[in-house]
Each structure stands twice: as structure tokens, then as C-alpha cells.
Structure 1
């Protein structure tokens, strides 16, 4: 299970070699893990079970790392010195904040301590950090105080990550407090820019954030499928 947590999936042969046991021993173990729901049996191997829950933040930072970095770089190209921006707490947002280190005179509103730390005290930037309960997973602020904070400001651009993007259901997330915070941000900005890698397309999110009609631009690493492109319109999609 430790190997699976690190690698997500493994073949029977690979596990047998790593653990110094026979293929048949591994197959028996896989059957037991599958019956208990701890793992999912696949042809020739085993994988972690599919789940609607997002993995912990540090793991999310490493998933699709190169894709997120490309998205972050393209997003940073839309920012000019002096902009007033909202940046949320998504894993892509951390890479985006690093891409902004050469920009000057930015006003940044965020609920992410990681984003705030990256951009404060740099190049005459001003950073406003949301209050509220700090979540242990990613050190981001949520709750009524964070929502009230978001409603105090107006921004030129809001860069918002999404846990799931669906052609019919719109933009969704996996946490109610996170979705409520993003819903408070959207009416306060001139441009809603969603940053999401291709693994978010068609995913089964839990909480609705907004309709696709409210998104001004989607920045991603791969062109979505035809249904999503038709709903958004190709002119509202940029591929890094």
C-alpha cells in the first residue's frame, strides 16, 4: 500500500520484485485488497481506487506538474504591471504566483498563504490576505470571514482553479467552503479566468461553483473534448 500511495499503480511483476515474493503471492494480496476496497484490481496489476475526493495538497502539487507550470506561465502572460488580481488557493495557483515574481506594483487578493508568501514584500506589490479558518491541508483561509473579505474588493482579473469542469454541469469543486468562497469572488471581478489541467475535464465534482457562461477564459494544457469546446466556445480557451 505504501508503494501504491507513491506510484498510484503497479504491475504484479514489479511488486513481486520489490517485495521479494512470488507473483502468486502478490495476486492473492491484490485479491484481498480488492475485496476490502483498499485497492482496485486491473489487468496485470493493481491501482489505488478511483475516488471523488481530491488528494492532499502536496500530492496535488506534484500531479501534472509540467502541465501546471505551462498553464501558470501562459496565465502570467496575461498580467501587466499594476494589475489588481485575485488568486485562489489551487495547486496551479502556487506555480502561477512564482511566475509573477518579476511583475511590479501588483495588488493581490488571495486566500492562500502560499500565494501571499510568494508575492508579498516584492517589487512594490500589495498583498491582501483573507481571514477565516486556516485549512490544515493547504494553509488557506475559508469560512464566513473569507467570504466577507472577497466581497469587499473588486479586481480586474480573477485566476481561479477548479476541481472539475463539465460540459453540462459547469465548474465544480469538492469542498463546500471552497466553492462558496469562489462564488463570492466571481461577481467582484471583470474577468473570470479558470486555470485547470486536462484531468479536470468531465470529472465528477461535488459542489457547483458557476456555469460555463460565467467563465471569460479557460487556460489549460490540452484542448477539451468537443462538448466542452462547444459550450465554452473556442475563443474562450487558451492551451499552454
Structure 2
């Protein structure tokens, strides 16, 4: 058993099945116990136990005969995420934009903080942005003159991200200067973690062709739950966060060789 699955594995889910069930539900929105049992070749009793484990961690919502994504996990939820800790996210995005040099190619994931970073790049037409986010791609297409590449694949309703088929485009683009990723959660021991297996895979593909990875993380993400490894700490060049980030935790990251920028927050009127 891999350590990245520790939380689920400790509760007895078999192999990567817990992660794969979560990914399937996020892709389809809702699935029945019968459909999941058929998909994974196990009994309905086993699937019910797996779903109960996921529900206890608030990763899914149990419904009669199956499970669905957490209530409000679509477009409304993204708008809510944009509004949550918005002052910190704007400040983090502004600082992150200073890390991007003229004419660079950068990658942005589907996180709300990366969306704020995209807003900071609207007046930089020399840049090229590769993104897995429908919302970010639409924003840049409508309001900027920079070059945009949208990764293909299946669309996840919960995040507006495309997943599953990034390799050909990424290989054709060559080396990306920096991949900017939001965080579900992270730790110096386990690196950057994601809840979604599919989104983690897309981020890994972007990281593989990027010279460096920068994590955009407001201080509310110091603790959280993520099952799937995106990149280990050694692949993270820098964390851009806010002044609420725990100094001792920042020191632990720095001891692991990761630079930590703690941005002071100034509220706009």
C-alpha cells in the first residue's frame, strides 16, 4: 500500500479503490451502488462500506442507493471559493505574478487562487498560459491578448477542470517555466496533495514538463485532507502564502529546501 493512500488505507479500503470511487463520482456527479459494484468488480456491501468511509470525510454525499458529489460542488461552489479568503488570494496572486518573466510559458491549474493569478496577467500579452481550467481559459480568451492553450480531456463538473488527456499538447509545447498550483492540502513530509485522482494526474503531467512548481496557498490550507500525491516537497520550488501561515510550519518547509513567501495582507476599501 502506498503512503499517499494512508488515510483511506488505514480504514480498510482496498488498494486505490477509494480514490477511484471518489474520482468516478466527481466525474459523473452521482453513481449508484450497483453501478460502482459492477465497475470495480466487488460486492455492493463492499461498495457501501467504501462510500460510508468517503462520506465520513465529507468527500461525498450519500443518497438512497448510491452517492453523489458534495452538495453545491459545481459553479456555485467555485464562486464561493473565489469569495473565500479573497483578500489573501489576491495578495498571493499579485506576489506570484512578480515571479513570471517576460515572454514566459506558465501553467495554471483549476484552483481559485490560480484564477486570481490569471486576473493579474490580463495586461501581459507577451505571456503564454497553459491551463486545465475552463474558467481561466475563458477569462483570458475574453479579456486578454496573451496566448492560451487549454488542456483536453474529460470535464469535471465539480471544479471546471479538464482531466485525463494532457500529454500530447504538453509535449508539443516544450518546457514550461513555472507551474502554479493551488493546494487542497500539503505537508513537508508528503508534498502537495489532491482529493481528486484525475486532477492530481493532470497536475503531475504539467509538473513533469515544468522547470519549477510554485504552490499558491492561503493560510487556511495549512491543514486539510488530500489522498493523492501531486508532487513531493523536493519538486516544489516555492510556496506563496499569506502572513497567517504558521511560522513554524514555514520553517519546516524551508528546512526541506522550499522557499516560503508570507505576504502581508492589506485590505482594500
Q: Would you call these one fold, judging by a TM-score over 0.5?
A: yes
Quick check: 1:150–1:181 contact (8 Å CA) kept in 2? Answer: no
State the partner residue of 1:231: 253
Pick closer, same or farther for the CA change 1:77–1:206 going to 2, 3 Å. Answer: same
Deviates more, 1:99-108 or 1:222-231: 222-231
- Structure 2 residues without counterparts, runs of 5 or longer: 1-55, 61-69, 264-269
Superposition deviation, residue 78 in structure 1: 1.5
Post-superposition CA distance 1:209-229 (Å, at most 9, x none)? 111111001101133342452
State the partner residue of 1:60: 81
Quick check: 1:147–1:180 contact (8 Å CA) kept in 2? Answer: no
Bigger relative contact order, structure 1 or 2, given CA contacts below 8 A and separation 6+? 2
Distance 2:199 2:254 in 1: 23
State the partner residue of 1:213: 234
Post-superposition CA distance 1:128-162 (Å, at most 9, x none)? 1111111223322111x134433443211111112
Moved over 6 A (4+): none
Quick check: 1:219–1:238 contact (8 Å CA) kept in 2? Answer: yes
- Equivalenced residue count is 191
State the partner residue of 2:29: none
Distance 1:201 1:195 in 2: 12
Report which of the two structures shows the higher radius of gyration computed on alpha carbons.
Answer: 1
Superposition deviation, residue 171 in structure 1: 1.0
Distance 2:141 2:101 in 1: 17
Distance 2:105 2:172 in 1: 13
State the partner residue of 2:131: 110
Equivalent position to 2:156, from 120, 135, 149: 135
State the partner residue of 1:150: 170
Quick check: 1:151–1:185 contact (8 Å CA) kept in 2? Answer: no
State the partner residue of 2:182: 161
Quick check: 1:109–1:129 contact (8 Å CA) kept in 2? Answer: yes
- Structure 1 residues without counterparts, runs of 5 or longer: 1-48
Pick closer, same or farther for the CA change 1:207–1:228 going to 2, 3 Å. Answer: farther
Distance 2:258 2:203 in 1: 23
Instruction: Give the 3-state SS of the residue equivalent to 2:89 in structure 1.
Output: helix
Quick check: 2:195–2:225 contact (8 Å CA) kept in 1? Answer: no
Quick check: 2:214–2:237 contact (8 Å CA) kept in 1? Answer: yes
Quick check: 2:253–2:260 contact (8 Å CA) kept in 1? Answer: no
Trace 1:10-159 onto structure 2 (pairs within 5 A).
51=58, 56-120=77-141, 124-143=145-164, 145-153=165-173, 154-159=175-180
Cα RMSD of the aligned pairs, angstroms, is 2.3
Distance 2:201 2:138 in 1: 24
